[in-house]
Amino acid sequence: MEFKKNTVCQVEIEDIGESGEGIGKVEGYTLFIKDAVIGDVVVAKIMKAKKHYAYARLERVITPSPFRVVPRCSFYRQCGGCQLQALSYEKQLEFKQNKVRNNLIRIGGLTSEAVDKAMEPAVGMDEPFFYRNKAQFPFGVDKEGKTVTGFYAGRTHSIIANTDCALGAAENKIILEKILAYMKEEGIAAYNEKSHQGLIRHVLIRKGFATGQLMVCLVINGKRLPEEKRLIEALCRIPGMSSISISTNQEKTNIIMGKEIRLLYGKEQIEDTIGGLTFQISPLSFYQVNPVQTEKIYAKALEYAALTGRETVWDLYCGIGTISLFLAGKARQVYGVEIIPEAIADAKKNAAYNGIANVDFFVGKAEEILPEKYAKEGIYADVIVVDPPRKGCDEACLCTMVKMEPKRIVYVSCNSATLARDVKYLREQGYEMERVGVFDNFPNTGHVECVIMMQYCGKEKKK
């Protein structure tokens, strides 16, 4: 068989790729097929052919996999946000456990025996839907010129009209429909990326799951909304509405939020509670989107830190201080570092709000703050906790961590590939991976969160 664009072939799905795509082989030639489930027999059309593999589109399922389920959302294939929604939840957890395991072996250079000894069973959710406490919805027009909102189709800026995402809070649908009705009544146009015309670009919705408080922030291509009071009155009929604001973004950019935020109603922040601590969240705050799983992750990070009350702990990439405040209850002193000034301002407010005094926060790069504090003030680290973005830790940050020689490093990660890369570096510097926890923070998607604990074994034990 000749494998080129538009070639149609039948294939059995034998594995799942990094992003949840089905993988099968025809005559030794590998096909990556989005929306195919392990165990399916499918007909697929090749869309992009390479020498040894191709990306193909699922045309139809001939024999469904025993692990295939009926997706809750009718838009899941178009949207691309829920890559695994057609796969049973039990199989999703197995996939994510294997994803972390394989990256630690393949990229991290660990043996399968070492990884299997360290890994704990993946922690899933009782309800793997309606777990997101934050969502950002773009506004636009459909082919008939009707104003719509929803999510972008995968790898495009074409909006799929859907106000009822199965991953978000139930209130999202009510809020979006009230905004659409207001736009229709007032003749307000949605933003057009090409012409840079139209007013409403996006809406950010947050919910405090523990408090029930709701936040709405409309991102607009202007300074004001027509008849603002009418929109405020409509949104305030929704139970829990606590904050309504607008963010001005008049730039030709793909960045969603603008720099200027004006409060229309209520408070500038809403509150949410995790593990007995209360956090104040603004439109720009970084805050974990799945509070149910976040509490489990932070509890595991605290367990791995093994604090006795005598330790000095550094929390790198600390954000608004969520992990720092968890650690402070068990440590002598906690220091948080974050490069974003607004996040540190939130962290300090959250510490004061919760009456926690044994924590200090610094704005800057970890690789600059840590050496300075060590050299000038003699501040060392018994334990370092790090929760970097998807790209992982900067090498300079890792180098600084190693120089501090903490007894333990607890690494929280949303990208097991970059985690494994950093694990390899740390192992080369005298640390060994002792424990691994896998958490499904993002059910029905290909993403997974994990926590590892690395113990210092001494430079003479480098491998």
Instruction: Judge residue 425's burial from the number of C-beta atoms within 10 Å of its C-beta, 0-12 exposed, 13-18 middle, 19 or more buried.
Output: middle
Phi-psi region of 35 (alpha: psi -120 to 50; beta: other; left: phi over 0): left
For 11, 240, 274, 329, 402, the CA distances from 302, given in Å and listed in that order, are 46, 32, 14, 10, 21
Alpha-carbon span 334 to 112, nearest angstrom:
35
Contact 17, 30 (CB under 8 A): no
| Chain centroid, CA 154 distance in Å | 17
Catalytic residues: 414
| Residue whose token pair is 């027009």 | 141
Give the C-alpha separation, 314 to 324, whole Å.
8
d(CA 292, CA 275): 10
Cα 354 from chain centre: 25
Residue 3 near residue 49, CB atoms below 8 Å:
yes
Angle at 205 (CA atoms; ends 203, 207), nearest 5 degrees = 175
CB atoms within 10 A of CB 173: 14
CB 355 within 8 A of CB 331: no
Q: How distant is the alpha carbon of residue 105 from its chain centre?
A: 24
Angle between helices 395-404 and 366-377 (to 10 degrees): 30
Q: How far apart are CA 237 and CA 338, in angstroms?
A: 38
Distance CA 278, CA 284 (A): 17
Place of tokens 């146009």: 189
Enclosing H/E stretch for 232:
helix 228-236
In this structure, what token pair is assigned to residue 69?
């389920």
Instruction: Please state the separation of Cα 336 from the chain's center in Å.
Output: 21
